[in-house]
A = this chain, B = another copy of it.
Amino acid sequence: MTRIENVFVETIRLRADYCNAAVSFAELTGSVVAIVADRGDSSGPMVGFGFGSIGRYAHSEMIRERFARRLLVADPAEYNDTDGLIDPNRMGSVMRRNEKPGGHGERTAAIGAVDMAAWDLLGKLEHSPLYRTLAKRFNGGEYDSAVAVYAAGGYYYEGDGLARLQHEIISYLETGYQSVKIKVGGVSIAEDLKRIDAVIDIVGSPTKVAVDANGRFEKAEALEWAKALEPLGLCWFEEPVDPLDFDGLRAVTEEYPLALATGENLFSKQDVKNLMCYGGMRSDRDLLQMDPGLSYGLPEYVIMLDYLESLGWSRRQCIPHGGSLFNLHVAQGLKIGGTEAYPGVFEPLGGFGELVAIEEGKAQAPELPGIGWESKPELMECFRKLGKDGQITF
């Protein structure tokens, strides 16, 4: 039996001095989490690390007072599997006790942070890189040898210009990326079309360039944008309307024949079900970007994937938001369509770390036990500080 002995959590600040069409990230924070567990044998305490996925601020109090507390007062029998290892599914059930239905925001990222640390711990307990642990549990042991990744950047910066944007895109291509995504909707259509053209010029093909409006438009404006974007033949058009404006999204699907993408701001299976019922999304071309770390963790994400497959969708249409090393393992181990990458943004949480090379637009998770945070030294430093003034050494 494995007992969770402690859960440590602290808030850190991200480095993110830029904007999308809806928000500035300059004050963005996140929660870093350590779960300390003991297997009850001579192996001593083990530690798993995780963080609250990117873009929705820290939830340290919520983790401490609600979700970690419920785990710490639970009988380990409530969250162990039959092999005496922690079971993140059962941990999720413990954490979600006495939570009212609906209102799937914030707590979804708080639980996601603890869940991420649980998977790191489980990989370490199994002496296995997380993607293999996931493949064993969810995929009959099968995993992808590499994952399609795209560089998400093209934010709006103070004193921005096309030269800076092109320079940024060149750096992605030089790193090994082939596909990129940039933000739109923060300036006029005419100005954004110039930005898109400047990026296509660098990348070489519109089919490797996606644009993201971050839910900024009302239906009418989204339709105007769809009309302007269609001739470009882009890879996808992301969040043309508010993430919960299913009526607006359906209208865009009726006018825009190319791929749309959404889902990064839907944090529960029930919200995804509503997207499927009412949003008009097309399984033969559209993309779904739900992020397990923002959505109560991997247990809920797997429920989403099963639900989508029951509707005839392929899980290859799922490409999570978030650009984290965790999601790289998830994509590889669950054989989904790929994952977002954040080269150089949202550090220290964003990015795949030093051991992950991008080759021809693909990446492989590191062959370290668990998530392999050791390959992200700056983040590892944040995790180590959770050890409370050296009281505990990780």
Contacts and interface: CB of A to CB of B under 8 A. Distances in A.
Interface of A: 11, 22-29, 55-62, 65-66, 97-108, 214-215, 242-247, 265-268, 270-271, 273-274, 277-278, 294
Contacts of A247: 273, 277
Contact of A105 (B11, B102, B243): B102
A28 B215 CA distance: 34
Given A11-B65, A61-B61, A107-B106, A98 B214 contact: no
Contacts of A274: 244, 246, 274, 278
B61 A27 contact: no
Contact of A102 (B58, B99, B215, B273): B215
Contacts of A243: 101-102
B102 A27 contact: no
**How many monomers of this chain does the complex have?**
2
Contact of A101 (B98, B100, B265): B265
Given A105-B105, A245-B273, A277-B278, 13 more contacts: A22-B100, A27-B98, A101-B214, A101-B215, A101-B242, A101-B244, A102-B215, A102-B242, A102-B265, A102-B267, A105-B106, A105-B107, A244-B274
Contact of A244 (B29, B245, B270): B270
A242 B270 contact: yes
Given A62-B61, A106-B105, A106-B106, A100 B265 contact: yes
A258 to B, nearest CB: 23
B244 A106 contact: no
B100 A103 contact: no
Contacts of A271: 244
Contacts of A97: 23-24
A268 B105 CA distance: 12
15 contacts: A24-B98, A28-B98, A55-B100, A56-B100, A60-B61, A61-B61, A62-B62, A100-B215, A101-B215, A101-B244, A102-B215, A103-B294, A105-B108, A244-B274, A246-B274
Pairs A-B, 10 closest by C-beta atoms: A103-B105, A102-B265, A106-B106, A61-B61, A105-B105, A102-B243, A101-B215, A23-B98, A244-B270, A24-B98
Contacts of A278: 246, 274, 277-278
Nearest to A104: B105
Contacts of A273: 245, 247
A265 B23 contact: no
Contacts of A59: 61-62
A166 B114 CA distance: 43
Contacts of A61: 58-62
Contacts of A102: 105, 215, 242-244, 265-267
Nearest to A262: B102
Nearest to A66: B57
Contacts of A267: 102-103
A214 B265 contact: no
Q: Which of A27, A59, A247 has the most CB of B within 10 A?
A: A27
A187 to B, nearest CB: 18
Nearest to A20: B100
Nearest to A103: B105
B22 A101 contact: yes
A62 B105 contact: no
Nearest to A28: B98
A288 B360 CA distance: 54
Q: Which of A11, A23, A29 has the most CB of B within 10 A?
A: A23
